[in-house]
Structure formats: structure tokens, C-alpha cells
Amino acid sequence: MTFNHTDPNNHYRSLRLLSEGGRWELGLSPYSHGMRLRMGLAGRPPQLMDFCLGRDADFLPKVLVAVLKRLDPLDEMASPDEVDAVFPWAGTRPDMAVHGSVLTEG
């Protein structure tokens, strides 16, 4: 799955990436507790991934690159369950303290 930069919107306010086939959106949005990395089907509120990255600006690019690397081998038509399965938090709510280092080092 390959993503390209596109204009931000109300769900991805700082960075918005759209998969080449237009099925998936991935991006960053600021919130009161820091930045959130979110992903979902295009044109819908992000429901697949909602990962609070906190306020550490140095960590943001590391996580984004790690997520894109994990998504790269997947087909555009992958199901939400197939996408979720490539992450260390599969089946749980992502927690930076628990999953952050596993994601960026794995």
C-alpha cells in the first residue's frame, strides 16, 4: 500500500496521506494532549488507527515512517483486520508507552 500527500481535511488536520487507489487515508491531527496518528477508509472518520503520539516532535516522523513501512507490503484492498494485524497493538487500543518502541524498532 503506497500513500501520497494530499490536502489536509477535518479528520487529518496537519498531514493527510491518501493511498494510491484512494481507498485509505492516513495522517496526523493535533489534539489537546499532542498529535494523533489516525487511519481509516477514505471519506469517513478514521476508525482503524487512532494512536496518541504525545508532544515529542522528534518521535512523530519515526512513528510515521514505521507505520508506512508496515503498510507498504499490503494490498490496497486489504481489509481493516488485515491492516490492523501488521501492528504490535493488533486487537487492542494503541498505547505509546507499551507499543511505541516495538513499532519503531521492529
Structural domain harbouring 51? 3-105
Band of the pLDDT at 91, cuts 50, 70, 90? Answer: low
**Residues in Cβ contact with 44 at an 8 Å cutoff, skipping those fewer than 6 apart:** none
Q: Residue 36: which region, alpha, beta or left (left: phi > 0; alpha: psi -120 to 50)?
A: beta
For the chain, what is the domain count? Answer: 1
Grid cell in block for residue 64: 510515521
Q: What pLDDT score does 58 carry?
A: 87
Please, which residues have CB within 8 angstroms of residue 69's CB and are 6 or more apart in sequence?
Answer: none
All 3 cell numbers of residue 51? 494512536
Instruction: Say what the pLDDT of residue 59 is.
Output: 85
The per-residue pLDDT for range 5-23, each reduced to its tens digit, is 999 999 999 999 999 999 9
pTM score, whole prediction: 0.87
Angle between the 96-105 and 59-71 helix axes, to the nearest 10 degrees? 60
> What pLDDT digit, counting tens, does each position of 29-77 carry?
999 989 999 999 999 999 888 888 888 888 889 889 999 999 999 999 9
Residues 16, 5 contacting (CB under 8 angstroms): yes
